[in-house]
């Protein structure tokens, strides 16, 4: 995902960087000292609602380049993704827990994780090196995030350079490492020629290791001028030999991998003071991984002729004997027989001498996994040919929990479905369980719990171990009034018909299979008719369905189409308008059997349909709005004054009302915000209270309301978030919170026409989020100023209640707990008949718990007594509405929930 670069101050070169003056976390949000979360003055009414957020389940869907097990605590493991954040393994649920959902809009690049490190001395500590691109696609610098509670909360140290979680070479590593003897020492390998960096204070500050002699020189494509393919991949891994240190004393022997085919491995024998190239090392290759078997004193390297993760045509595996300096080629196959590079690499810590590796770039017919139980002297492989094209597998593979992993394919042998994998750069044997192995692919995490069957001659079982890890990039969303509640357009895996939001779909869209769906639409009054467009290696780039997306058929396309673009369906399914990449805008009155060029609208315009008049279509490009009243045959330019000419712009027409249009988008360098038209785009009015907006959608109207509920991803009142309005934009409710921000959410948003308050939010790497409101019907309008409120009424007191009882109820829920800490969510509901205008909730902890990080409120604590006070944007709570906040806390004994809460000194009901 590429966004317009924003100007920022030139970086000052310095050897030492101080920790950012902010705490970050999941759930508490990371913010620079100059990026205050406080709401600014606004001419719109702002309030807050408590939402329950979940992923629409897909399970996986993107590249997992790294899996890290802690070496001293059983079942403590982490996974990193290239654009979708980091996760911690939950053994009880056998699922992954997201750790970086707090990353905000301004730091969206921090959802790309280039490396992870788990502290073996103090397992509560975990570190993440974050940043998505090293070129100007990502406007912010990288950072090292540090957590002392396993990722529940974070602090960040911003670096004076960028990191590339989604850059070439991202499967190499790990670039970040904690000294296993002196855990206050960490090393980070940097890209772009920035060298090797070190922290001596547990990641709070970082300095360049100026004595390190080689910052790397390899780039994927030196001729690329974008800063992507031609970026120096730099320092790619750091490995400690724990035998050369003792508890509390820095490890002396450190190995570092460098993206330099002639000089790929360096070593220090004096704790990082001096460094030298190891003599006799293999050349002509890049060492993707360097893993040390300390019991036998062997350093293993997996090598490839390129940096990956997509490319790689030749490879080797080498072993270095640390005591003697001997190098030995221990490749499982001859170099001449490879058509792939090696990357994934792991050692069985329970059985020294057992090592495994992957042929990460063997796309066809399948990836390969190699295993040796004699330190690389001999190898076996996961599958072998019997008589070509027949093959014999040492494994069984069951993807019934994620059935779409078959891709709906029926390949010719020796290719199989599902595949063992591809882009298999992450491979780890559980250091406490020789039977458990996990490995990452371009779409999922696979694993086994009976790996040693490999050695006994029986088959081991491979299944997806990816539940909870959601990594799709979302391009478009649609929620029809009947049929499936949601249809999705996704990058890389096309998209799905979601009949159950909490279940993995059986299959992605097929016939045609589009690698990435860029746009989809349904006919408003005939929602069984659906159209989608997207990327493909060749035609077709368009598909149609007449049964609400259950089954599809291919359409023809105009000449010159190179990509999906945007598409719109007439309200009654009588025709379609398509604005593909590579050519102009076209329309059809059938299902794509023939197309005619539209006139009056420029190539590359975004197109949408009116949701009532089937002959009316709309378009937008570069500040001008276009209207067609003849089914898309001809368009006429309409409004242009004041509309954004730069940045991304998305617009939608309101269902059931002809000519009612909402337009969101723009750029900080020009017009940016939310506009409304009620005359089919002849004129637009900008909503003055919305500072920025990037996507807009509609959902079921609130009880008693005459207008559909609006949802926007926007900046309102100085606050970035997901907002809802039930009164056509007069007042707004923020429905997410600082714990749920998901980086960039600008591609698509839609409400559900059947469930009030439900909203579907696109992310760029965390999949589809959906939220349900604690407010069952919205009460007609969003919380705002109630003109009927008596100014003399004490906030929080319902005159109709008995003395001593406030008109409120409180729900307190512990949502997560770990050794010494916990996370809790609190919901305050106004059960009275007057609006709360500011609130302060009080309670007493029974077991002496302490509040730590808090969001959506400010806290004070005196002994066991706690008060939580509203922040500026959620102080007003209308009758029947709720305000929510959450916090992390510490505990030394039990964690009994408070049984009494008071508002303004008077008791609230609990439940």
Q: Which residues are catalytic?
A: 82, 492
Q: Which of 431, 293, 428 is nearest to 350 (CA)?
A: 431
Give the E-state strand segments of 492-585 in sequence order.
497-498, 516-523, 526-535, 542-545, 553-554, 563-569, 576-581
Residue 237's contacts (CB-CB under 8 Å, 6 or more residues apart) are 172, 173, 174, 175, 177, 189, 256, 257, 287, 288, 289, 290
Taken in order 455, 457, 458, 461, is the CA torsion positive or negative?
positive
Closest Cα partner for 198 from 210, 208, 213? 208
Task: Yes or no: say if 280 and 327 are a contact pair by the CB < 8 Å rule.
Answer: yes
Q: Which residues contact 90 (CB under 8 A, 6 or more apart)?
A: 96, 97, 468
**Rounded to an integer, what distance in angstroms lies between the CA atom of residue 109 and that of residue 747?**
16
C-alpha 117/C-alpha 111 separation (Å) is 16
Q: Which residues contact 315 (CB under 8 A, 6 or more apart)?
A: 285, 302, 303, 304, 305, 331, 335, 338, 340, 341, 342, 359
Q: Which of 399-414 are b and which e, b meaning 16 or more Cβ less than 10 Å from the residue's Cβ?
A: beebebbbbeeeeeee
Cα distances from 742 to residues 150, 475, 895, in angstroms, run 19, 15, 29
Q: Which of helix, strand or coil describes residue 808?
A: strand
Distance between alpha carbon 206 and the CA centroid of its chain, in Å? 27
Q: Are 911 and 900 in contact (CB under 8 A)?
A: no
Residue 229 carries which DSSP code? T
Token pair 């309409």: residue: 638
SS (H, E, C) 419-469: CCCCCCCEEEECCCCCCCEEEECCCCEEEECCCCHHHHCCCEEEEECCCCC
Give the torsion sign (CA, 42, 46, 48, 54). negative
Q: 102 near 31, Cβ under 8 Å? A: no
Residues 6+ apart with CB under 8 A from 38: 718, 871, 872
Helix (H, G, I), strand (E, B) or coil at 697: strand
The kind and range of the H/E element at 346 are strand 345-347
Instruction: Give the contacts of 46 (CB within 8 A, at least 6 positions apart).
Output: 39, 716, 717, 719, 731, 732, 733, 734, 873, 874, 876
CA–CA separation, 808 vs 71, rounded Å? 49
Query: 765 to each of 26, 100, 308, 330, how far by Cα in Å?
Result: 16, 11, 20, 38
Token pair 């001008």 in the structure block, residue? 624
Exposure string of 805-835, with b = 16+ CB inside 10 Å and e = fewer, is bbbbbbbeeeebeeeebbbbbbbbbbbbbbb
d(C-alpha 643, C-alpha 484), whole Å: 35
Q: Say which residues have a Cβ less than 8 Å from residue 6's Cβ, sequence separation at least 6.
A: 139, 668
């Amino acid at each position: 995902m590429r966004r317009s670069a924003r100007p920022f101050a030139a970086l000052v070169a310095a050897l030492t960087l101080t920790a950012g003056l902010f705490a970050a976390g999941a759930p508490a949000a990371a913010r620079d000292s100059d990026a205050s979360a406080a709401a600014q003055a606004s001419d719109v009414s702002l309030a807050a609602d408590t939402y329950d957020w979940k992923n629409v389940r897909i399970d996986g869907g993107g590249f997992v380049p790294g899996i890290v097990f802690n070496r001293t605590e059983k079942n403590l493991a982490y996974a990193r993704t290239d654009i979708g954040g980091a996760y911690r393994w939950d053994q009880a649920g056998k699922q992954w827990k997201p750790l970086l959902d707090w990353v905000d809009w301004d730091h969206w690049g921090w959802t790309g994780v280039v490396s992870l490190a788990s502290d073996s001395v103090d397992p509560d500590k975990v570190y993440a090196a974050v940043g998505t691109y090293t070129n100007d696609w990502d406007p912010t610098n990288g950072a090292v995030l540090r957590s002392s509670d396993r990722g529940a909360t974070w602090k960040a140290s911003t670096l004076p350079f960028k990191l590339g979680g989604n850059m070439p070479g991202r499967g190499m590593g790990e670039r970040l490492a904690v000294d296993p003897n002196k855990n206050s020492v960490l090393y980070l390998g940097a890209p772009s020629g920035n060298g090797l960096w070190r922290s001596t204070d547990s990641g709070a500050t970082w300095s360049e290791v100026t004595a390190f002699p080689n910052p790397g020189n390899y780039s994927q494509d030196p001729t690329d001028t974008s800063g992507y393919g031609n970026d120096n991949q730099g320092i790619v891994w750091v490995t400690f030999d724990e035998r050369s240190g003792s508890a509390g004393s820095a490890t002396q022997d450190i190995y570092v991998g460098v993206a330099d085919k002639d000089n790929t491995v360096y070593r220090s024998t004096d704790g990082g003071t001096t460094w030298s190239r190891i003599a006799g090392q293999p050349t002509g290759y890049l060492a993707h991984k360097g893993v040390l078997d300390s019991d036998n004193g062997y350093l293993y390297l997996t090598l490839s002729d390129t940096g990956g993760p997509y490319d790689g045509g030749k490879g080797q595996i080498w072993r270095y004997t640390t005591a003697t300096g001997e190098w030995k080629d221990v490749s499982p196959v001859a170099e001449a027989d490879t058509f792939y590079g090696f990357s994934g690499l792991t050692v069985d810590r329970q059985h020294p001498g057992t090592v495994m590796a992957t042929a990460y770039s063997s796309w066809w017919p399948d990836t390969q996994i190699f295993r040796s139980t004699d330190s690389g002297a001999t190898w076996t492989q996961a599958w072998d040919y019997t008589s070509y094209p027949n093959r014999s597998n040492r494994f069984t593979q069951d993807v019934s929990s994620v059935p779409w992993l078959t891709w709906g394919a029926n390949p010719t042998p020796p290719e199989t479905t599902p595949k063992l994998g591809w882009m298999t750069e992450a491979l780890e044997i559980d250091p406490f369980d020789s039977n458990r192995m996990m490995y990452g692919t371009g779409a999922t995490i696979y694993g086994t719990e009976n790996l040693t069957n490999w050695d006994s001659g029986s088959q081991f079982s491979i299944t997806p171990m990816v539940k909870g890890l959601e990594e799709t990039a979302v391009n478009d969303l649609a929620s029809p009034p009947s049929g499936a509640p949601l249809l999705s357009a996704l990058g890389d895996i096309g998209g799905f018909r979601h009949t159950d939001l909490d279940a993995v779909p059986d299959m992605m869209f097929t016939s045609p299979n589009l690698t990435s769906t860029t746009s989809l639409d349904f006919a408003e009054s005939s929602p069984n008719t659906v159209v989608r467009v997207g990327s493909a290696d060749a035609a077709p780039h368009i598909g149609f369905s007449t049964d609400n997306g259950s089954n599809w058929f291919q359409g023809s396309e105009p000449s010159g189409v190179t990509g999906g673009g945007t598409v719109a369906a007439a309200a009654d399914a009588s025709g379609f308008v398509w604005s593909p990449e590579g050519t102009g805008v076209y329309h059809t009155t059938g299902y794509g059997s023939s197309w005619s060029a539209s006139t009056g609208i420029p190539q590359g315009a975004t197109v949408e349909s009116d949701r009532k008049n089937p002959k009316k279509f709309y378009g937008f490009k570069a500040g001008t709005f276009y209207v067609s009243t003849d089914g898309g045959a001809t368009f006429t330019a309409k409004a242009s004054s004041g509309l954004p000419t730069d940045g991304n712009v998305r617009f939608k027409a309101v269902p059931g009302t002809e000519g009612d249009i909402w337009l969101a988008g723009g750029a900080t360098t020009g017009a940016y915000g939310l506009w409304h038209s009620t005359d089919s785009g002849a004129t637009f009015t900008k909503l003055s209270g919305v500072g920025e907006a990037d996507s807009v959608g509609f959902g079921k109207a609130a009880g008693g309301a005459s207008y559909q509920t609006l949802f926007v991803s926007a900046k309102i009142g100085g606050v970035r978030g997901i907002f809802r309005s039930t009164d056509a934009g007069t007042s707004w409710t923020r429905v997410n919170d600082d714990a749920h921000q998901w980086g960039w959410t600008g591609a698509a948003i839609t409400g559900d026409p059947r469930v009030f308050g439900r909203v579907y939010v696109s992310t760029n790497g965390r999949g589809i989020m959906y939220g349900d409101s604690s407010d069952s019907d919205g009460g007609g309008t969003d919380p705002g100023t109630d003109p009927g409120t008596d100014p003399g009424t004490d906030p929080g007191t319902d005159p109709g209640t008995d003395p001593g009882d406030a008109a409120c109820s409180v729900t307190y829920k512990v949502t997560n707990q770990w050794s010494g800490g916990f996370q809790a969510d609190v919901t305050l509901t106004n059960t009275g008949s007057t609006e709360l205008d500011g609130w302060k909730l009080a309670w007493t902890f029974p077991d002496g718990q302490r509040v730590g990080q808090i969001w959506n409120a400010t806290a004070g604590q005196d002994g066991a007594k706690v008060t939580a006070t509203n922040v500026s944007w959620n102080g007003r709570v209308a009758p029947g509405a709720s305000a929510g906040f959450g916090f992390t806390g510490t505990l030394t004994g039990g964690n009994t929930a408070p049984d009494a809460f008071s508002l303004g000194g008077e008791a609230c009901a609990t439940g």
